[in-house]
A and B are shown apart, each in its own frame.
Chain A
């Protein structure tokens, strides 16, 4: 009998230890851990024992609580699991608390069983318990076993690097008997007989998974906690871990080739340039169009299709009610609705129908995950983009990102590795890097300042690339009114105190072929005064901004997401009675090969002008680069806090404006 094997995620890895450990006196009296000076808690010992022959996972943990946060974090022990086909149960839940004086307080209660989710016959459950008399300085121990039925196999995913420092850990895996026939269902739904037990590993230097007669063992020690910092690349893709899986494949090369073939076939089936598609394309392009013209027209047509990832996924019943059948590219066009990947495939189909050599590529999302070819799991890949050969040169397109500019891809896909179609199959490829000129921001302000500080004027902000896409997609998921409010809120946060901005209108909010422009009205007041002088911020758009990085220490690399160039041009006309006394010196803050900043200030009589440029060309920084990167943004921030000195001057009585009047 062929048994099914589920490679799906088991909600939590299980545990084991036959007896409790005996903490050392040093461990009992420890109040902080020199190995992890800032840790709220540390794992003194952690163990996972998995036996796929006996169908259980056991977990044992010994944790030292070092501060209030650690106490709070371990106040509740949660063991989630799926209760469905595998008949999973959580048993033998035990725990105890050991006080710093060695007193042992056993957990004598029963864990509570919660139903987290019930959908049809599928249930996600959780067992929860709280250990008694937990306090800072306590050591807690707990263990439990997850059992699953005899027809189910669940090779372990050992996430070696956790939220907390691990002093020592032991992992053991006894795989199932290889003579038992197992069928593996891959991420694309194909079933194949399993031939191999494979594992992907990322381990600290010196650590090694050892294979023995009874399975696999791994002993590790001194594993640092995963950092939690802003602007990090997806660290989950780099953490220490070992992932076992039963596989029908001999090697990574074979896996990616075979799975790529499945995927490619599926793409080609969906994106077949059928007669329907050809008829549609014939109405969009003209016979005399160049390749570029054809593609631009097709892209424009595809961009009119509703992307349900930004609106609402529709049920099959709804689709049927509206006449949708089995989905192919032509159906997406006819119904004017599809998700991101379906729309990408529609674009591919139409480009192919127009005679353009077009390939699909599937990649990860840069802020979520990075492809690891050593891990033979297709599900790492999620987003499809298109590659079109135009006039002999390949160009990348991202039609699944509605309103993405022609010939560009969303920053989530830049530099991402993936699998692409080729003329003779599929291959591993990487999406080209973006240039800072691809993403531009031009902010202009034309302002007038009254003698009493009242300010009036208008702001125009022109966006291209990532920023334009962000706001256009925001409007898709919301609407124009909500977008106006959200936009002005962002601008408002950084302009000088007292200044009020209000979005009047957008231009080209739904037209990706034009630059997106926002026009905002400015009112309120600006500046401070002493008896003799008035001061106004030299950098209008950044007067209230805070630098990007405040903390001096950094443990993880930095990903600034996308390169960009931002220019500001501000003109401030002063009312009679005010004149420019002094402006800051022009400044240049270089960060060679990475970023650049320039600011120029001009002031004469009743006119002040500011020109500011900030360009970030590189987006990925090693941890060792952090001091320089932080220093650059701090210097920029300091420069943006410069002040313009205005002087009050006498005006002829007849010409003096009333209080609060603004120069015309």
Chain B
């Protein structure tokens, strides 16, 4: 209720002299030399004249027009034109011209124009633009060569229009370009055009949209157009898939040779990537020696575990991405020597180490945002690389859960060496159910990553509590977390100091207990990935039970919330859970002497198909037994299941907030 603060900073002052962030946020007032009432290009004026009804949108893209020109040597340049109208104050952020470029994708030109709400027209000058290095250090990227040129155009207020045009070179190793025709604001008019040299071929693939045929506006020059594209706005949409997994896009593959379709195109992309990455996985004797040292013997599983453990514990995540380094891994030798690398580097080193101990593995290009990789749209689009390990024919081991079978019949164990907390055999929850490109030469294919059994992804909380007549609750709690879903707690507990660990538990308890004291606490098996993560702690919560006359009200569900924050509105988008899981709570609560149980909440038993929830409170003598179980069996649901999810959630919420009534004898 209190102590909220939305703050903007006044201009000037000591801090403005100190920070880059302030520099970046400051509009270009001090630089502004834009010419007033400039002559604006016709395409800007035509787009600016557009009228329409865009509801409560913050801004609207009046024009987004891309022209990709490929010359006979395959050198490509892309020219983008954009016109944005600001409709509401929050829309200003959409009218920030920006173009990314790099050493391999040089920026050839950048121009910005604007029309103020009062009709004044401005053309900005080159000296007014700002280049900003793309800072991905938060994602562990030490260095990349990407930069963004941007500007703060005059007149960018509600009612104002900002337009820009940029031309960039397409890196020579790319043969695919994207048309993102859907945004989170309306797009009134958008087009993508490709101008190919005679004899060249193109293949368009579509994601989240029915394919549309282009117009051949000139020989071997194709143009696709769309009008009034509805936005995807996920604000206040709970359990939403990633925005990028919902928005429609088209990509065009171009080549001097015919471009295949479907699975053949996936295979071609995979084969190309194999050619790029494979030489990097040729490890030297030092790698082989280390691999044989840490993974001796013949047992397939123990070799896997040892190499995986080495990758997870000894090779830290540091990314250095220059030019094609966005796609091509560093050599295994370099990664091994430095003991660091990014996801593709780690995958490459692991492939080399496994190879040294006789296990074959390959790369899988995935996206950590489930649903972004679309099997219907063959593309290099992905943001993460993991590995697929060949399982010997006939080999069976219950520890191998994340298994897929390729079209060739080869079984693969999918593993992510970048996630240091998910043991080999399992898969991080955010990757489960998504798709990826299995790199296997001409046998490359798109595969669906497995969704693990919810029984393996479980959290068990058990506790014994004692309630005093003054309402004070004391007890000991144990939490056991099994499977890939334990990765967040393992990470937090391993990263944190003892003080931070206590605060982590305190923040968790704060959700359910208004006043409490955390007693001793300990965590076990943080690094022992093959064992469940265990957390033990003692807690005392004064005033837990509430007096109402001669009644004492006590909530049997002392800790933990299994429900979701849902909004009671018609659902347009699919539902996405972090992962499948089973959550169980078993609490025993001894009531104070002199009290009897007068009333307990009714049992709950809901089967929603995709999930079940059971809960029961029983009184046995002076002990209240509370037991519940939520089993979530699917990672994604269609929008039509939202009503059922709401019902389930209501049942959980009611159960969690229900009180038992104790009466003084």
Contacts and interface: CB of A to CB of B under 8 A. Distances in A.
Interface of A: 8-9, 11, 37-40, 67-69, 71-72, 75-76, 78, 80, 112, 114-120, 124, 126, 128-130, 132-135, 187, 231, 309-318, 320-322, 339-341, 364-365, 367-369, 377, 379-383, 400, 412, 441, 467, 470, 473-474, 477-479, 481-482, 485, 489-490, 494, 497-498, 500, 524-525, 528-533, 535, 541-542, 545-548, 550-553, 560-561, 564, 566, 581-585, 616, 631, 634-635, 637-645
Interface stretch (B130-138, B194-202, B273-281, B436-444): B130-138
Contacts of A566: 1-2
B557 to A, nearest CB: 11
Given A120-B31, A313-B26, A528-B601, A75 B140 contact: yes
B90 A478 contact: yes
B401 to A, nearest CB: 26
Contacts, number: 314
A438 to B, nearest CB: 14
Contacts of A133: 338-339
Contact of A76 (B26, B35, B132, B137): B137
Contact of B511 (A129, A315, A546, A616): A546
Nearest to B549: A582
B650 interface: yes
Contacts of A310: 8
Nearest to B340: A130
B80 interface: no
B657 interface: yes
A473 B143 contact: no
Contact of B602 (A124, A530, A545, A546): A530
A256 to B, nearest CB: 15
Interface stretch (B150-158, B176-184, B445-453): B150-158
Nearest to A561: B3
A111 to B, nearest CB: 9
Contacts of A631: 515
Nearest to A109: B338
B547 interface: yes
B31 A9 contact: no
A129 B4 CA distance: 39
B551 A316 contact: no
Given A382-B14, A643-B546, 13 more contacts: A72-B495, A116-B20, A318-B154, A318-B155, A321-B122, A339-B11, A368-B15, A478-B90, A530-B600, A531-B602, A541-B1, A635-B543, A645-B551
Interface string B26-37: 111111111111
B89 A119 contact: no
18 contacts: A38-B500, A80-B20, A117-B23, A120-B127, A124-B23, A309-B9, A311-B157, A313-B29, A315-B27, A315-B31, A340-B10, A382-B16, A478-B90, A482-B88, A490-B1, A525-B650, A634-B514, A638-B543
A75 B318 contact: yes
B617 to A, nearest CB: 9
B316 interface: yes
A67 B497 contact: yes
A37 B514 contact: no
B612 interface: no
Contacts of B63: none
A112 B320 contact: yes
Contacts of B143: 112, 114, 128
A341 B12 contact: yes
Interface of B: 1-18, 20, 23-24, 26-37, 56, 88-90, 92, 116, 118, 120, 122, 127, 130-133, 135, 137, 140, 142-143, 147, 152, 154-157, 236, 314, 316-318, 320, 337-340, 494-500, 502-503, 506-507, 509-511, 514-518, 542-544, 546-549, 551, 553, 568, 599-602, 650, 653-654, 656-661
B546 A130 contact: no
A365 B9 contact: yes
B568 A500 contact: yes
Given A117-B131, A470-B5, A312 B27 contact: yes
A562 to B, nearest CB: 8
Contact of B133 (A116, A315, A368, A497): A116
Contacts of B317: 75
- What 8 A-B pairs are tightest by C-beta distance, nearest first? A382-B13, A315-B32, A637-B514, A38-B497, A634-B515, A582-B548, A550-B510, A638-B543
Contacts of A118: 130-132
Question: Which has the most chain B C-beta neighbours within 10 Å: A38, A128, A310, A583?
Answer: A38
Nearest to A549: B510
Nearest to A379: B14
A367 B547 CA distance: 41
B7 A552 contact: no
A550 B3 contact: no
B289 to A, nearest CB: 16
A470 B543 CA distance: 34
A638 B122 contact: no
Contact of B17 (A8, A119, A473): A8
A369 B14 contact: yes
A317 B5 contact: no
A641 B318 contact: no
Contacts of A477: 6, 8, 89
Nearest to A401: B10
B599 A115 contact: no
Contacts of B544: 638
A561 to B, nearest CB: 6
A474 B6 contact: yes
A67 B20 contact: no
B548 A584 contact: yes
A587 B375 CA distance: 62
A532 B602 CA distance: 10
Given A38-B500, A112-B142, A313-B26, A643 B659 contact: yes
A517 B507 CA distance: 33
B7 A315 contact: no
A98 B496 CA distance: 23
A322 B13 contact: no
B1 A494 contact: yes
Contacts of A231: 3
B460 to A, nearest CB: 24
A320 B511 CA distance: 55
A313 B18 CA distance: 20
Contacts of A340: 10-11
B574 to A, nearest CB: 23
A524 B646 CA distance: 12
B94 to A, nearest CB: 14
A551 B510 CA distance: 9
A464 to B, nearest CB: 14
A485 B88 CA distance: 15
A584 B568 CA distance: 31
Nearest to B19: A9
Contacts of B155: 318
Question: Which has the most chain A C-beta neighbours within 10 Å: B1, B29, B137, B660?
Answer: B1
B142 A130 contact: yes
A516 B415 CA distance: 57
B188 to A, nearest CB: 21
Given A75-B140, A638-B542, A497 B8 contact: no
Contacts of B515: 547, 631, 634-635, 637-638
A78 to B, nearest CB: 7
A637 B23 CA distance: 42
Contacts of A316: 29-30, 32
A71 B340 CA distance: 12
Contacts of A76: 137, 142, 318
Contacts of B546: 584, 641-643
B135 A116 contact: yes
A112 B145 CA distance: 10
Question: Which has the most chain A C-beta neighbours within 10 Å: B31, B143, B511, B653?
Answer: B143
